Structure 1
Amino acid sequence: MSDPTPATVDAELGTIEYADVGSGDPVLFVHGSPGGSDQGELMTRFLVAAGRRVIAPSRPGYLGTALTDANSTPAAQAELHLALLDALGIDRVAVMCWSGGGPSTYLLASGHPERVSAIAALAAVSGPFTFKGGLEDRLLSGRLGPWLVDEMAKHSGRSLVKSTLAEEGDLGTAELKELVEQVWDDPTKRSFVLELSATVAGRKVGLDNDHRQFPELPDLGLAAVSAPVLLVHGTADADVPPAHSDHALAALPEAELLSVDGGTHLAAWTDPTSDAVQARIADALSAG
């Protein structure tokens, strides 16, 4: 199957929306905060191009996966991931997660080790986490968010790229300018950033739930994860501190850290070394 149009399956914990793209060995992609199945389709295009099938669900509260009392916690979301795999007849899967997709990914792998062959955790939350918030986040998550992003993408794309990269990285003026130029001059990276903005705008219900859940995260069972894990983190990440990957590296039984010097929260897609980073991710997901 290679249709990015979302489909749904019904599970005990609620209806799950997901995209199913590409063909080959399956990879489950767990999106960030905010996000959705569309973000998964965007962030994994390099895997589809490399011959992998990607299943990208929307976590509860995002797009077509409704948030309920029963599925609000990361532990329940891990069970939703499992239910989706069962519905699709997938016994064992590699998992790639980004940012706020970390908690449910680790809980899936620790609770059901026989189902997860390998993990690539990109700037992933690995323990209690408090969002930094701010005016920009409130504007994007509100009802006007999608309209604002669409207008900026149409009429001020370069400014949207700059504001996105500035928000995602702790970069100096010269470093930010250089990265913006590099991304803007690369059609693939430019398109990625412009499309990404549409996958985070207006996602208030799911984001509010993540804001409630993440500061009080329970033990994610990192020590019980048997799958090999590639951790990828930019040293200039302004959203999820690199300490989250350092913590995971120390706790996971089999893990490797790929630290991207000067990389932002989007290092795997926008850094000058992103092609090499993506190749490492693809190799890691073929392990196990």
Structure 2
Amino acid sequence: MFYALFKKNLSAARERILASGIKTANTRLGKIEYIAFGKGLPVLWIHGIVGGADQGIISSEPLVDRDFRIIAVSRFGYIGSPLPVNATPAAQADLYAALLDALKIPKVAVVGFSSGAPSALQFALRHPDRCSSLILLSGAVPPYTEPPHILRIIAKIFFGSDFIFWILIKYFPSIMMRLMGVPKPVQKRLSAVDKEWLDDTMFSFLPVRLRVNGIINDIWVTNPDLNKGYPFQELTIPTLIIHAVDDPMPSFKTAKRIAAQIPRSKFVTIESGGHLHMGHHLMVRTSITNFILSTKETKASVPVLEQAFT
């Protein structure tokens, strides 16, 4: 019965991917998976670790207004997006531009979450003419300590096993939430709506072995790339950074310091919500919506602004 339940949940996960509307674009720079939904101003939605285009609706629903057209991608090594030899954030950013060419979309607002931040930043730096605004949610920051090689083997076993991941999701959800960056104090005050969203999000990680190559690449290539020293001061795009003080993953202080280096930035502080901004989704949604709408035609320089939410 125990194993039968696992197989049932895994089968449901595979069916969810098939029903998600996921497509593969054959661009001038190679293949990339994506889904597109909604109508209005286009928004490129870049997932974090253990993500994928198939999660686009689940992950963006509480944070992005449905009056936008969301283009959610699968980054290198996730689901059906290939993992090239040169799987760097810069190469990934160029592939985003190629995808926009294939979809005939001239310009987008870009939202990068967690490990999606490096390629979002590279897109804004390398293709500023294609980027109307940049939003970083709990974005990865330097310095990033690359784990020792022995842990790469362990990570491949852990993230390559749907069964191990399913056990954590099904029977140890608190541990899984902490791995997702939701601190225990935040877990204790979750609303029923937030609990349901987290549960759906955790099960959307399955099948995790379809994401293992992307996860490994994020840990040993994508995030360490930030250590090369990104020229944040050269960003010309209006930028919104939203970060929680109690985020156990990327440093809040470093995120705030990076915002100060970006000429046209706004920094929003969440006092307590963890990596996923739990309890503040409506505020995040409003901030993102207002920022995209206010910057779609903005050309003048704007000062660094700060806003805090508790």
Residue 37 of structure 2 is matched in structure 1 by 21
Give, in whole Å, the separation in 2 of the partners of 1:165 and 1:132. 21
The percent of aligned pairs where both chains have the same amino acid is 28
CA-based RMSD of the aligned residues comes to 2.6
Residue 166 of structure 1 is matched in structure 2 by 178
- Structure with larger Rg: 2
Q: Describe the SS at the equivalent of 1:196.
A: helix
Give, in whole Å, the separation in 1 of the partners of 2:246 and 2:107. 34
How do residues 108-187 of structure 1 correspond to structure 2 at under 5 angstroms? 108-130=123-145, 138=155, 141-144=158-161, 146-150=162-166, 156=171, 159-160=172-173, 162-169=174-181, 171=183, 176=184, 179-183=186-190, 185-187=191-193
Q: Which amino acid aligns with 1:142?
A: F
- 1:34 CA displacement: 2.6
Residue 192 of structure 1 is matched in structure 2 by 197
Structure 2 unaligned runs (5+)? 1-18, 296-310
- 1:37 CA displacement: 0.8
Structure 1 unaligned runs (5+)? none
Q: Which amino acid aligns with 1:276?
A: M
Give, in whole Å, the separation in 2 of the partners of 1:14 and 1:62. 14
Q: Describe the SS at the equivalent of 1:84.
A: helix
Cα deviation, 1:225-278, whole Å, max 9, x if unaligned, reads 2221111111111121213412321221111111111221111xx2x2321222
Q: Describe the SS at the equivalent of 1:286.
A: helix
Q: Describe the SS at the equivalent of 2:43.
A: strand
Count of paired positions: 269
How do residues 218-229 of structure 1 correspond to structure 2 at under 5 angstroms? 218-229=228-239
Cα contact 2:48–2:112 (8 A) shared by 1:
yes
How do residues 1-288 of structure 1 correspond to structure 2 at under 5 angstroms? 4-46=20-62, 49-70=65-86, 72-130=87-145, 138=155, 141-144=158-161, 146-150=162-166, 156=171, 159-160=172-173, 162-169=174-181, 171=183, 176=184, 179-183=186-190, 185-187=191-193, 189-200=194-205, 201-202=208-209, 203-213=211-221, 214-217=223-226, 218-267=228-277, 270=278, 272-288=279-295
Q: Which amino acid aligns with 1:225?
A: L
Cα deviation, 1:56-87, whole Å, max 9, x if unaligned, reads 111111111010114x0110000011111111
Cα deviation, 1:6-42, whole Å, max 9, x if unaligned, reads 1011123321001111111110011112311123332
Give, in whole Å, the separation in 1 of the partners of 2:257 and 2:229. 12
Q: Which amino acid aligns with 1:211?
A: I
Q: Which amino acid aligns with 1:233?
A: H
Distance 1:4 1:221, change over 3 A: farther
- 1:151 CA displacement: 5.1
* TM norm structure 1: 0.83
* TM norm structure 2: 0.78
Give, in whole Å, the separation in 2 of the partners of 1:15 and 1:260. 37
Cα deviation, 1:114-148, whole Å, max 9, x if unaligned, reads 1111121001124342367989x93884332x334
Give, in whole Å, the separation in 2 of the partners of 1:52 and 1:105. 18
Cα contact 1:23–1:48 (8 A) shared by 2:
no
Give, in whole Å, the separation in 2 of the partners of 1:61 and 1:46. 26
Q: Which amino acid aligns with 1:166?
A: R
Cα contact 1:233–1:258 (8 A) shared by 2:
yes
Q: Describe the SS at the equivalent of 1:259.
A: strand
Give, in whole Å, the separation in 1 of the partners of 2:105 and 2:93. 15
